[in-house]
Amino acid sequence: MFTDWDCLACHVTVRNRRTLNRQTALNNSRWIYQNFSGWVGVSDVAETLNYVIKKPCPLLQDNLVSDQLRIADLGRLIGADSNASKAKRGVAQIAPNSRILPVVQFDTKRWDSIDVDINFIDRKIIRSKELPIQNLKAEIYLNNRQLSLIPLTFGIAGGIWSIPSSLIDGSPKTIKAEISLSARHLKTKQLFTTLESTHTSLGEINRQALIGVGNSVGALLANSNGELKTLANKGAISKCILDAAGLNIGNVAPTKLFGDKQGELNCLAGDFAITNGIMQVKTFLLDIDDAIITVSGEINLANEILTLNIMPKSKGPRLMSLRSPLYISGTFKNPNVGVWIRQR
């Protein structure tokens, strides 16, 4: 599935070589490479490969196990190098500097040259800035130009993420993808490590089902259809929610909403409908000690544009710092937050 082999540089230190066997049958030939193990940088890998020569295309079977996989060790092999590095070697950027969602196109021209059946287990994936991923398990199938992960599970931020079904159809000129996702028991303190609050927040993404058409992740989301439901409780609101959105408003919006006091989060519930790449807020409610905060508006996944309104409603006679609703505009990369000015 890789076409850029000339630019790949990967040094493997072999720890153990076992046996290479060939088995023949009437209509095919099977090569088996058993109990291979080694390192790429500080990443370890152990696997047993089966390569079956058959018609209409060969089959690659692999049982791959790793105790620790560092993304930096794989570098250019998986496109984890910088945009500057990609430009130097003539490879398309994953995402332009002005955008967040990946725009690099899937290359499915050779998906019919081989069938794939891979069972992958990784106990820890180390990323440079993001949280580590733990206990990843995936069964990867490529058959007749259709790629599926059934299922994919991994741990992050103290919770379990699960993709029970996903299908990417590479047979037409434009890829069609169907993906469902769920997450359980996420701990906000682990998910957002910069939180100052010592409270543990628990959250769930109860359902995310998307169908999209396009030749990149960005294009798939740009015309996707589906839904997203979220639920969280037991936490703090000021850092938890506003920093969680990745917005640069850490010292502005909390003060406008709560003065200098962080609000205790009782409950968060969200329900989003996604139609042709527009994520419409059906319901988004924050229940804190002092107020109930609702959010309305939409998120344009095609243009990565935010158009959101935040409206607080005080529970008691104590006045809040904010006397007008907030708005969030701008792009995913450069969001803007401000206060609506009431017209006289």
Parse the chain into domains and list their residue ranges. Answer: 186-344
The Cα–Cα gap between 153 and 130 comes to 18
The Cα–Cα gap between 148 and 229 comes to 24
Nearest Cα to 326, choosing from 342, 309, 304? 309
Interval 23-36 mean pLDDT: 73
The Cα–Cα gap between 96 and 41 comes to 28
Distance of CA 88 to the CA centre of its chain: 27
SS3 80: coil
Q: Is the pLDDT of residue 198 over 60?
A: no
Please, which pLDDT band fits residue 162 given cuts at 50, 70 and 90? confident
The percentage of residues in the chain with a pLDDT greater than 90, rounded to a whole number, is 11
> What pLDDT does residue 281 have?
96
Is-contact 149 163, C-beta < 8 A?
yes
Encoded tokens for 163:
């993709």
Burial class (CB in 10 A: 0-12, 13-18, 19+), 220: buried
Please, which pLDDT band fits residue 35 given cuts at 50, 70 and 90? confident
When comparing pLDDT for 85 and 223, which is higher? 223
Beta bridge partners of residue 48, listed in sequence order: 63
Q: Is the pLDDT of residue 130 over 50?
A: yes
pTM of the model: 0.66
Return the CA Rg of the chain: 24
Interval 115-136 mean pLDDT: 81
> What pLDDT does residue 12 have?
46
Q: Is the pLDDT of residue 137 over 80?
A: yes
Compute the C-alpha angle 112/48/38, nearest 5°.
110
Interval 269-294 mean pLDDT: 88
Burial class (CB in 10 A: 0-12, 13-18, 19+), 237: buried
Interval 16-43 mean pLDDT: 71
| Single-letter residue type at 246 | G
